[in-house]
């Protein structure tokens, strides 16, 4: 299932906001993170995601899904659970998760003159 553009998806839908602080060093994070992104894109109900990490290792990822069921199912995927455990053991100092319902979307783009 190809991901679509969350900013063009009519609400309501769901957003999982993941705020995290990485530990220093890679420790296999890059490869595993890429594998999880590829997997979640195939997850039924996945809409799209936005992700940014700063130079200080703080990151925010927002993953958009069309239902709470889709979020629950993704939470049950064995490889994902394994990655979460590795995250706590190796990759994160701390993280916060905000499970949210998107009620309104606005987007803006500079027009080329």
- What character string, x for contact with a copy of itself (CB under 8 A) and - otherwise, covers 66-95? ----------------------x---xxxx
Q: Taking a C-beta distance cutoff of 8 angstroms, is the pair 18, 63 a contact? A: yes
Tell me which stretch binds a copy of itself (CB under 8 A): 25-33, 38-46, 101-109.
Answer: 101-109
**46: how many CB neighbours lie within 10 A of its CB?**
22
Binding mask 21-60 for a copy of itself (x = CB under 8 A): -----------------------------xxxxxx--xxx
Residue (of 24, 25, 20, 13) closest to 36 by Cα position: 20
State the Cα–Cα distance between residues 99 and 21, nearest whole angstrom: 18
Among 6, 22, 32, 47, binds a copy of itself (CB under 8 A): 6
């Amino acid at each position: 299932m190809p991901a679509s553009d969350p900013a063009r998806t009519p609400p309501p839908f769901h957003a999982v906001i993941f705020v995290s602080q990485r530990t220093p060093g890679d420790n296999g994070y890059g490869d595993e993170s890429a594998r999880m992104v590829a997997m979640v894109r195939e997850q039924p109900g996945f809409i799209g995601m936005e992700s940014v990490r700063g130079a200080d290792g703080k990151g925010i990822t927002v993953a958009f899904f069309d239902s709470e069921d889709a979020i629950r199912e993704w939470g049950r995927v064995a490889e994902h659970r394994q990655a979460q455990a590795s995250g706590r053991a190796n990759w994160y100092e701390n993280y916060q998760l905000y499970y949210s319902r998107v009620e309104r979307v606005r987007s803006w783009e500079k027009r080329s003159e």
